[in-house]
Structure 1
Amino acid sequence: MTSSPNDHFVVTYQQGERPDRWSWEIRRRSKPLGIKMTGDGYQSDSAARFAGKQALADFLAELSKEEKLPRK
């Protein structure tokens, strides 16, 4: 069983490029994920946050499906 859904969260940050671009990253509180899940190229913090939260919801939905599969 993996950690609870509240263990995962989204952070946003601004890239130093001109024009400014925003990115999101999914992280886990209990331990590092082992891979980076990111998205970039957004024109605002709110756009990056919206996209990151959607990606997190999709990730958690797929993780839930995977957990329900029988172990071999």
Structure 2
Amino acid sequence: LAQLGTSFNGEVIAKQISTALAESIETSMTSMLGEIKQELSALKDIKEQSQKELVELLIQETKSELIAPVAEELSKTSA
């Protein structure tokens, strides 16, 4: 039993555990970070599309609610 206690090297065991844990975390994190990157890219695309649609809607509303009525009134007064 005394020999068993002296044959274990705490530093070696700690180093092996640390290395194995680091590799495991790196492997799992790499795939997760890749997935997160893809999701962020998709969200960026959605945001850009939403902003484009909002601008187009604002332009259309401005035309129909402001520009068209003003143009109509101007054509009435000039006639």
Larger-Rg structure = 2
Which one has more relative contact order, counting CA pairs under 8 Å at least 6 apart?
Answer: 1
Instruction: Considering fraction of residues, name the structure with more strand.
Output: 1
Instruction: Considering fraction of residues, name the structure with more helix.
Output: 2
Coarse TM-score class (shorter-chain normalised): 0.3 to 0.5
